[in-house]
A = this chain, B = another copy of it.
Amino acid sequence: MIQVDQALSIIAENSCKMPIRKIKVTKSLGFILAEAIYSPMDMPPFRQSAMDGYAFTHSELQQFNVVSTSQAGDFSNKKIKQDQAIRIFTGAYVPDNLDTVVMQEHTTVKNKTVEITKMPARFANVRNKGEQIKENELVLENNTVITPAAIGFLACLGITEITVYAKPKVAIVVTGNELVKVGKKLPEGKIYESNSIMLESALQGIGIKKTEIFRVKDNLKATKRVLKSCLSTFDVVLVSGGISVGDYDFVKEALLSNGVEELFYKINQKPGKPLFFGKKDKTIVFALPGNPASTLTSFYIYVYPALKINMGFEVIHLPKIKRKINTQFENTSGKTLFLKGLYDDKKVTILESQSSAMLNTFAVANALIYLPYDVVNIEKDQEVMVVPLN
């Protein structure tokens, strides 16, 4: 049995980035760039007015004949004489032989003549070609998280495709003769199977949509067969249940006989002690304890960072913050505890009913409180580690 930190290290060492692939910029939110991007063009691509006003050639003249108009999107390089100006709008093309734009608030206009009442400096209000970014300059570094701003930036440079780390395909294997699919009638002795739906939504919450659910009875042969196929087709296999030491818990045996290397089994923690982590080729496997609250706690603490590594993230764990606990607490279990809690700006409260069999508390919690195995007495108002889940 290992401690939480050892388990997290082993997971980090044995998880790796997914292969890279090209995707459309419009579909890239939340992906991680696998290659630096350089600009295919100057931006702005031409000399651009930064104001609504008049463009002219800076000289001693204060008065100009307005001979044409350049609206955003227009293009004309007709030569404009020294005593001429053009009406121009923000974002519009500034003809090559004009060097200055005066904002309209600093002019008076009569008929077709504009008089400048406050003369700007030469070159004022003209954005130069490539002023923001030049062709071949770095746009985004490797390993950048693609945000809406990054998508906008790429799009304005005309970039339509980028190279990112793929997201893993995840198999969810649910074991247990007692489990009935939600929506069906519940016979005596059975319960509804909820872990697959819960895990699928937790995966969806971190942007992983390629998931498939497999249901298998408590039977070694069936378990082996399903796992064999999952191990060869998926990047990550999450097994729910069948991993403690009851006579009918076949998952570990089925994994090992399929050539999965055991990297750890059992963590000194509650809930979720009988957690198994292993690997076959590039596929990683988590066998999660079947009690729903244990399953979900294990997901957030252990599966989440592995998936983040797969997707190319550098920050792989859920954030940890410190909050004052608002009750005294004694941890005499010798185990690291992950308690369902409610936190706000200042403090955190341990919720009642920490049963790992049910999700009542988890459904209203907004955090896990992380109490290490080696701290027995926690005073009221002492700062503790909190993992926000919202």
Q: A residues touching B (Cβ–Cβ < 8 Å)?
A: 25-26, 29-30, 41, 43-46, 50, 52, 71-75, 89-93, 127, 132-133, 139-140, 144-145, 147-160, 176-179, 182-183, 186-195, 197-202, 204-205, 218, 244-248, 290, 292-293, 295-296, 299, 355, 357-360, 362-365, 389-390
Contact = CB atoms under 8 A, between A and B. Distances in A.
A91 B153 CA distance: 54
Contact of A247 (B89, B190, B199, B360): B89
A129 to B, nearest CB: 11
Contacts of A157: 192
B26 A127 contact: no
By secondary structure, the A interface counts as loop
Contacts of A149: 198, 293, 296, 359, 362-363, 365, 389
16 contacts: A25-B182, A25-B197, A26-B200, A52-B244, A72-B176, A72-B248, A75-B187, A91-B290, A132-B355, A132-B360, A133-B358, A148-B202, A149-B359, A152-B194, A152-B201, A153-B292
Nearest to A177: B73
Contacts of A127: 357
Contacts of A194: 151-156
A358 B357 CA distance: 52
Nearest to A321: B345
A200 B43 CA distance: 22
A205 B30 CA distance: 9
A314 to B, nearest CB: 12
Contact of A156 (B44, B74, B292): B292
